[in-house]
């Protein structure tokens, strides 16, 4: 098959060159061009797929980051709520009058003050001391039932594990096991 390579012009002469190819050579050259185009097309598709996967991965990471931030905010809010639990103070009945002060409730020879102040455990303990008492130390099932009826929700009591995690002590340094109430 004849191929016109290039017409050329030389000082007033027309130059024409022809090249003859066998059908096999022509077919190989044509196949090579088709393969090159197919290869370039496949690279284009692969790049598009990679770009799509990258965009999807980026979106997933951003979604997880937003979820982590939201959980962190919820955790911080719970920490604040935990620190602001109400608390209960107790003291002995005033010896001079035999009664509890106004705003306090009595059970046996003890008076109880159920605060609505929103404080953390340490602040609650200090508040009770300022009021002339201490955070409640539950020493009987009757006392525990009485307190449970009064509070209705969560309250701080005089029990903590501040010194040793998991070892519960009352504010009077008595262990939880020593009171016989659980």
Decide which of 88 and 3 is more confident: 88
What class is the 85-179 domain? alpha beta
Decide which of 86 and 58 is more confident: 58
Q: Where are the domains of the chain?
A: 19-81, 85-179
> What pLDDT, on a 0 to 100 scale, did the predictor assign at position 64?
94
The yes-or-no verdict on residue 4 having pLDDT over 60 is: no
Which range, 32-36, 62-66, 101-105, has the best average confidence (pLDDT)? 62-66
On average, the pLDDT of the chain sits at 77
Half-sphere exposure at residue 120, Cβ-oriented, CA atoms within 13 angstroms: 6
Give mean pLDDT, residues 155-176.
Answer: 87
> What pLDDT, on a 0 to 100 scale, did the predictor assign at position 115?
85
Residues 6+ apart with CB under 8 A from 101: 94, 111
Determine how β-strand 13-20 pairs with β-strand 2-10.
antiparallel
Give mean pLDDT, residues 121-125.
Answer: 90
> What pLDDT, on a 0 to 100 scale, did the predictor assign at position 181?
67
Give mean pLDDT, residues 73-96.
Answer: 64
Residues 6+ apart with CB under 8 A from 153: 86
The yes-or-no verdict on residue 175 having pLDDT over 70 is: yes
The yes-or-no verdict on residue 5 having pLDDT over 60 is: no
> pLDDT band at residue 132, thresholds of 50, 70 and 90?
confident
> What pLDDT, on a 0 to 100 scale, did the predictor assign at position 103?
85
Is there a contact between 113 and 89 (Cβ–Cβ < 8 Å)?
yes
Closest CA to 89 of 116, 56, 108: 116
> What pLDDT, on a 0 to 100 scale, did the predictor assign at position 100?
82
Which range, 4-18, 42-56, 95-109, 160-174, has the best average confidence (pLDDT)? 160-174
């Amino acid at each position: 098959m004849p191929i016109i390579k290039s017409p050329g012009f030389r000082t007033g002469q027309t130059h024409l060159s022809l090249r003859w190819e066998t059908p096999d050579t022509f077919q190989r050259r044509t196949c090579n061009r088709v393969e090159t185009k197919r290869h370039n097309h496949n690279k284009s598709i692969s790049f598009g797929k990679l770009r799509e996967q990258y965009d999807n991965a980026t979106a997933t990471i951003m979604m997880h980051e937003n979820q982590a931030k939201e959980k962190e905010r919820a955790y911080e809010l719970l920490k604040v709520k935990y620190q602001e639990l109400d608390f209960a103070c107790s003291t002995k009945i005033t010896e001079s009058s035999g009664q509890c002060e106004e705003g306090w409730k009595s059970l046996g020879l003890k008076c109880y003050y159920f605060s609505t102040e929103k404080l953390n455990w340490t602040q609650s303990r200090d508040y009770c001391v300022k009021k002339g008492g201490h955070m409640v130390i539950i020493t009987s099932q009757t006392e525990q039932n009485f307190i449970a009826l009064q509070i209705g929700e969560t309250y701080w009591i005089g029990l903590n594990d501040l010194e040793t995690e998991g070892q519960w002590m009352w504010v009077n340094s008595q262990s939880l096991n020593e009171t016989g109430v659980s």
